[in-house]
């Protein structure tokens, strides 16, 4: 039983898709931490009196939490798109995974008749 090049590329592509989906699931485990930190900082910000000098610091922390959360969600989205692309294994993915055909290994070998 031998696999054709196309079947081998699909197998490798599906394996890469599985790796990407596991990585996306691992990244999703960080979501509760980011959401809890953001909600805690927002609550602390709201509890400070208006004239307090720590409001500016808390606002920058909240902004940093939002940016970190946005990048995490973006990273998860990109991993999900990569999973989909590898699972479908379009001709573009096949072209990336399959090395180009070269005649260098047949140079000097007489052609079969």
pTM: 0.76
Q: Residue 13: what pLDDT?
A: 94
> How far is residue 71's CA from residue 25's CA, in Å, rounded to a whole number?
15
Tens-binned pLDDT, residue by residue, of the chain (113 aa):
788 888 889 999 999 999 999 999 999 999 999 999 999 988 888 887 877 777 778 888 889 999 999 999 999 999 999 999 999 998 888 888 887 776 555 555 555 55
Q: Which of 14, 28, 9 has its CA nearest to residue 85?
A: 14
Query: What pLDDT, on a 0 to 100 scale, did the predictor assign at position 71?
Result: 97
């Amino acid at each position: 039983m031998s696999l054709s090049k196309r079947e081998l590329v699909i197998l490798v592509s599906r394996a890469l898709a599985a790796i990407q989906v596991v990585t996306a699931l691992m990244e999703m485990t960080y979501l509760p931490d980011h959401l809890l930190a953001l909600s805690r900082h927002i609550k602390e910000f709201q509890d400070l009196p208006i004239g307090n000098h720590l409001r500016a610091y808390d606002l920058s922390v909240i902004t940093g939490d939002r940016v970190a959360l946005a990048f995490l969600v973006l990273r998860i989205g990109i991993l999900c798109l990569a999973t989909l692309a590898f699972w479908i294994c379009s001709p573009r993915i096949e072209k990336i995974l399959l090395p180009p055909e070269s005649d260098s290994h047949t140079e000097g070998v007489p052609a079969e008749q």
